[in-house]
């Protein structure tokens, strides 16, 4: 008997034999998800839910990444007052009963009603440093590095507080919302002053805390090392992050799936396709896309592989392009 989509995805995550290599892609359902507010604007919430439903019915994916569009902003009132590193010292967690957390749990519950238990679902969650990027006033790419240089301990405390809330969110969207895991987005800081040593001292502890919280309620969590818009990461910084699968920007980092699989010690890897409007997945014809699918699988094999993209694909992509990938992977 053929594997169901849940059986297929679990086998792929476990590195076991699969009937076919599973396939999953995703995109945002709000035009500006990092600026939108779904907490107070119910129209944004409706658009996000309707977008999931339309995408699911149009593509019937092997698994679903649940998009947190409209909840990127971390609504901590004290962050608006941060002007120097010492200001982080006054932060206290919002707490797991805060509307920002409860609303996202409610969103996941509503989305689960669409998908039932037909497929695995992973809720999109960002690391504390990325959350600061959207939440601090007048953020610049050097601001976090400036704060760290000013008072490293205070910045770590602030990131740890944010991590407490995000860890609560991760735990609750799985345990209470019904998601099968999280899709956790991390990223090197675009500042040469934030070396691997500084990252491990200041930033990594909070990220690891969030993963531990997710892993305590589900062993099926995905780490996304985000290379959006050409952002470069050193993947080696994350090889000790305890995730079930790893996703990175293959094109940006120039590290194909088979090489990444070795880097992550044989654990499952997700991706393979570049995600912009200039890439094969978006603009290629059926023959080209399916040839690329076969090339990826020839090089990477079929064990511990999930086909997808570097990051979100354009929201206007033709869904038949995604299905062409699945057809080729099946054959």
For residue 1, pLDDT over 90 is answered with no
Instruction: Check residue 138 and give its pLDDT.
Output: 83
Alpha-carbon separation of residue 93 from 76, 173, 306, 310 (angstroms):
8, 18, 36, 32
pLDDT band at 9 (very low <50, low <70, confident <90, very high): very high
Angle between helices 99-115 and 42-59 (to 10 degrees): 30
* Tally of domains within the chain: 1
Instruction: Check residue 229 and give its pLDDT.
Output: 80
Return the closest-CA partner of residue 86 out of 11, 176, 1, 156: 156
Question: What does the alpha-carbon distance between residue 327 and residue 294 come to, in Å, rounded to a whole number?
Answer: 10
What tokens were used for 17? Answer: 């034999």
Instruction: Check residue 179 and give its pLDDT.
Output: 98
Q: Mean pLDDT over all residues of the chain?
A: 96
CB 227 within 8 A of CB 249: yes
Q: What is the mean pLDDT of residues 145-160?
A: 96
Range of the domain at 283: 5-330
pLDDT band at 247 (very low <50, low <70, confident <90, very high): very high
Instruction: Check residue 197 and give its pLDDT.
Output: 98
Burial tier of 122 (Cβ tally within 10 Å: 0-12, 13-18, 19+): buried
Instruction: Check residue 322 and give its pLDDT.
Output: 98
Instruction: Check residue 155 and give its pLDDT.
Output: 97
- Strand-pair category, 181-186 with 268-273: unpaired
Instruction: Check residue 230 and give its pLDDT.
Output: 81
CB 179 within 8 A of CB 66: yes
What is the residue-wise DSSP string for 57-115? HHH--SEEEEP-TT--S---GGGGG--SGGGGGG-----TTSHHHHHHHHHHHHHHHHH
Instruction: Check residue 304 and give its pLDDT.
Output: 98
Instruction: Check residue 181 and give its pLDDT.
Output: 98
Domain of 88, CATH number, reads 3.20.20.210
What tokens were used for 165? Answer: 């809330």
């Amino acid at each position: 008997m053929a594997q169901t989509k849940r059986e297929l995805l679990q086998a792929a995550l476990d590195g076991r034999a699969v009937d076919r290599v599973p396939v999953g892609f995703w995109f945002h359902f709000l035009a500006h998800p990092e600026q939108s507010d779904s907490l107070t604007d119910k129209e944004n919430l409706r658009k996000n839910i309707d977008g999931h439903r339309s995408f699911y019915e149009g593509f019937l994916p092997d698994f679903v990444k649940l998009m947190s569009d409209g909840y990127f902003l971390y609504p901590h009132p004290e962050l608006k007052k941060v002007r120097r590193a010492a200001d982080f010292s006054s932060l206290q967690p919002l707490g797991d009963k805060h509307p920002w957390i409860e609303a996202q749990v409610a969103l996941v519950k509503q989305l689960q009603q669409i998908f039932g238990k037909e497929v695995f679902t992973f809720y999109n969650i960002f690391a504390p440093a990325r959350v600061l990027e959207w939440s601090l006033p007048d953020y610049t790419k050097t601001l976090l590095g400036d704060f760290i240089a000013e008072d490293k301990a205070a910045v770590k405390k602030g990131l740890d507080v944010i991590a407490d809330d995000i860890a609560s969110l991760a735990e609750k969207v799985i345990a209470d919302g019904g998601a099968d895991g999280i899709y956790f987005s991390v990223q090197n800081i675009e500042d040469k002053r934030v070396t691997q040593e500084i990252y491990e001292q200041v930033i990594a502890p909070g990220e690891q805390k969030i993963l531990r919280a997710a892993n305590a309620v589900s062993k099926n969590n995905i780490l996304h090392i985000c290379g959006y818009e050409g952002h470069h990461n050193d993947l080696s910084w994350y090889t000790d992050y305890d995730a079930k699968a790893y996703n990175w920007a293959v094109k940006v980092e120039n590290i194909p799936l088979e090489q990444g699989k070795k880097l992550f010690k044989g654990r499952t890897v997700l991706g393979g396709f570049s995600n912009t409007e200039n890439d094969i997945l978006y603009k290629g014809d059926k023959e080209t896309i399916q040839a690329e699918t076969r090339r990826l699988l020839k090089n990477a094999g079929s064990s511990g592989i999930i086909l997808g993209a570097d990051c979100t694909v354009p929201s206007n992509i033709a869904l038949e392009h995604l299905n062409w990938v699945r057809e080729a992977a099946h054959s």
